[in-house]
Amino acid sequence: MRKIGVWIDQKEANIITLSRDGNYSKTIYSDIETRIRIEGEKKQFGRFGDQFLVDEKGKENRVKEYTHKYLLRVLKELGKADEILLFGPAQTKFRLEKLISEIPEMAIKLKDVSTSEKMTHNQKSAYVRDYYKNQ
């Protein structure tokens, strides 16, 4: 049995795997940048007479695209799991849950989605071990 716990937020995902062979973890970093500055840019807007041009929609679309690519990389790592636990401090875990629920083979493996605060690596590992021990 490969039991996997994923602590995820917008910056990184820690994948903790418990199996008969032992426990190991992997970290996947996201490429999401919320404050992108284009070379030579002086202001966040352009001025044309009385009009201001703000690239908010473009920035929002870039963040969505990077987030989707990041979640697909995490989902790829979960392919060999028998049971999956998602936890973390932000909304990213719910986006990953939505992606998992769209794949029927993966949806039955998802056991729980819970909210937790920022944790050290040892706390994350202990959380996953305790969760599967109590089941």
| Mean pLDDT of the residues in the chain | 86
Question: Model confidence over 88-126: pLDDT tens digits?
Answer: 998 999 999 999 999 999 999 999 999 999 999 999 999
19: tokens are 């199996």
Neighbouring residues of 65: CB distance < 8 A, sequence distance ≥ 6 = none
Query: Domain ranges in the chain?
Result: 3-30+45-133
Q: Give the predicted TM-score (pTM) of the model.
A: 0.83
The CA-CA-CA angle for residues 53, 59, 63, to 5°, reads 170
Tell me the range of 5-9, 38-42, 59-63 where mean pLDDT is highest. 5-9
Instruction: Decide yes or no: CATH 3.30.420.60 for domain 3-30+45-133.
Output: yes
